[in-house]
Each structure stands twice: as structure tokens, then as C-alpha cells.
Amino acid sequence: MPDNFPGADSPLDLGNVTKALRERLGGLKIIAVVVVAGLLALNSVYTVQPEEVGVILRLGKYAGTTEPGLRFKIPLIDRLTKVPVRRQLKQEFGFSSESVGVRSSFVSNPDEANMLTGDLNAAVVEWVVQYRVVDPYQYLFRVRRLDATFRDMSEAVMRKVVGDRTVNEVLTVGRAEIEGAVKVELQALCNQYETGIAIDQVVLQSNNPPEPVKPSFNAVNQAEQELERLVNEAEAEYNRVIPRAQGQALQTIQQAEGYALDRVNRAQGDATRFNALYEEFRQAPEVTRKRLFIETMERVLPKVGRKIVVDEDVDGLTPIMSFEGVSAARTSRQVAAQQAGEGTP
């Protein structure tokens, strides 16, 4: 027994022992009260980060929402829940990220990713939903187990949209359309069930055929690309050849029309001229005949290289008149003399 304990050197006195215990317990009570008061004071002060709001429940009932900063609440009566309303959240479907960094690793979830398309083909679809909390009250209190419910809603909408499209649309050309359709329908469900969530974006991470049929799908895809290439080449050749041929055909038609018009005009002119000549011939046949003969000779004689004129009144000789140069010209008398000289012995 300690030396300072009352009655240490005397027989045990229950009264003294009780008094000493009361004194010591009194000191402990004071310490306990101070500790409890300190804990309550610490519990009454809290900090809300800039991207959050604080939702206060007072005796289990919604009491209000506090903005970012240093705030106070009633200890043991108020309960605080912080909700990130200014930070974008995301949910992964068909896969989950185990580690994110330079060497990210992912784990597939076939139960979510395997889907059936509208043409009864299988597709493996992995996607991410990015969203924000816009109503903290609805987010916390309107739907039980909101995370699980939100995942079920997203999966149901994706299966519905994929089931309305062919496998080619799902795996190739329809990605953007599927993302937009899922975003619209999922947002409508979130509003209907008052989840307090706004969908920012739906991103298809990976759209692939199942592994057993992937080689066949790739072969079909390559064949379609080759077909598209050939079609593009054929269209380019068509655009190069057809306009040229059409231009040549139009040019030929225009030339033929011009030639036909020229021939018609010439024929009409000839007919008009012939009719005029005929009228003149009918009125003065002999004069017209001589004029036509002279006009014809005027056109023909300049084109003849050598011209010989025969006089019908000369008998026994072959009268010749030459209209060529002086060295080649001979009179009919010179020709007759030459013929007479050749006839003498």
C-alpha cells in the first residue's frame, strides 16, 4: 500500500478508504468531462472541399445542404454526408480497371460485355458512363442502393440499343449513334427515377466480336474494305471517262447539226438560184443558154493548163490556136507550112 494512502501505518479504516476513493474519482470525472467536451467540439467542426457539398441529417431527417468551407454542426445530433457535385464520376461496364498509369491493367467482365445484336449475332461491348451529381438530396435519399441501380439501368439501356442494331452497326459504323442513343435514354431513366444524376458522356471503349469468330469477322471486314476500294476506283474512272465521252458526243452532235444546216442552206440557195435561172431561161432560152455557157467557160478555162481553139470554117487543116507563152505559140499558117514541107519528097 502506498505511503501517502491514509491509514497506511494504522489499521484499515473503511471511512478513510471511501473518502480517498471519492477524491480520486472526482478528479477522473473532471478529466472525463474535459475529454468528452473536447471530442464534441472537434466533432462539431467540419470542412467541405471545393468540389463537394455537405448534406446534414438532424436526428435522421434532412436538415439542409452546406457549401464548401469551414462549417459547424451539432455534435451527436447532426450527421454529415459529403457529396462530390463538382467532380465528374464514372462507371465502367464490361471491364474494370485494376491499375491506372503507364502500365494500366484491366479485368474483363463477360457477364456485362456479352450482348446480342438485332440480327441475332454476338458482340462484346465495353463502355464507360461519365456523370455528375446535380441534386445531392435525390442522389442520397430518392433511390436505395443507387450505385447498383445505376449500373443496372446503364446495362439495360445498352442492351436495348445494341439489340435494335445489326452487328455491323455495333462493331463498325454505328459507334457514335449508339453512344448518343444510350446517353439520351439513360438520362431519361435517371430523371424518371429522380436519381439526381446528369449524364455527361457515354464512351464505347471496345466493340469486338467474340474471340471464336474474330478471324472470320476480320476476313469479312477486309473483304468489305476491298469492295469499297474497288467501288471508289470504279466511280473515279467513271467520273473521268464519262464526262469526256459525253463532251465528245455533244461536240459530234453539234458538228453534225452544223453540217446539216449548212447543206440545207446550200441546197435551198441552189434551188433558189435554179428557179431564178429557169425563169430567165423560160423567158429567153437562147440568150440564157449562151450566158450560162460563157459563165461556165469563165469558171473552167482558168483551171485548164493548155488551151486549143479549133475553127470550124477551116478545111483540110487542123487549125490550132495556143494561148500559152510566145515560145509555144504557133499560128495555123506555120502549122500548115510545116505539114506541106514534110509532104514533099
Give how far Cα 342 sits from Cα of 189, 329, 330, 337, 338, Å: 135, 20, 17, 9, 6
The DSSP annotation for 232-267 comes to HHHHHHHHHHHHHHHHHHHHHHHHHHHHHHHHHHHH
* Residue position matching grid coordinates 473521268: 240
Instruction: Count how many residues are written for the chain.
Output: 345
The reported pLDDT for the residue numbered 339 is 46
Predicted confidence band at 103 (pLDDT cuts at 50, 70, 90)? low
3-state secondary structure of 29: helix
pLDDT in tens, 105-134: 778 888 899 999 999 999 999 999 999 999
pLDDT in tens, 42-65: 677 888 999 999 999 999 899 999
Assess if residue 7 is contained within a domain: no
**Residue at a domain's end among 209, 235, 253:** 209
- Same domain? 47 vs 21: yes
Q: Residue 79: CA atoms inside 13 Å, Cβ hemisphere, count?
A: 5
Q: What domain range includes position 326?
A: 305-343
- The answer for residues whose C-beta is within 8 angstroms of residue 276's C-beta and 6 or more apart is none
The reported pLDDT for the residue numbered 78 is 87
- The pTM (predicted TM-score) of the whole model is 0.57
Predicted confidence band at 7 (pLDDT cuts at 50, 70, 90)? very low
The reported pLDDT for the residue numbered 217 is 81
Q: Structural domain tally of the chain?
A: 4
pLDDT in tens, 301-343: 787 777 677 666 666 555 555 544 444 444 444 544 454 444 4
Task: Work out the average pLDDT over 74-101.
Answer: 87
- The answer for residues whose C-beta is within 8 angstroms of residue 210's C-beta and 6 or more apart is 114, 122, 123, 124
Assess if residue 5 is contained within a domain: no
The type of residue at 128 is V
pLDDT in tens, 64-76: 999 998 888 888 8
Assess if residue 256 is contained within a domain: yes
**pLDDT exceeding 90 applies to what percent of the chain?**
44
Higher pLDDT, 167 or 308: 167
Assess if residue 72 is contained within a domain: yes
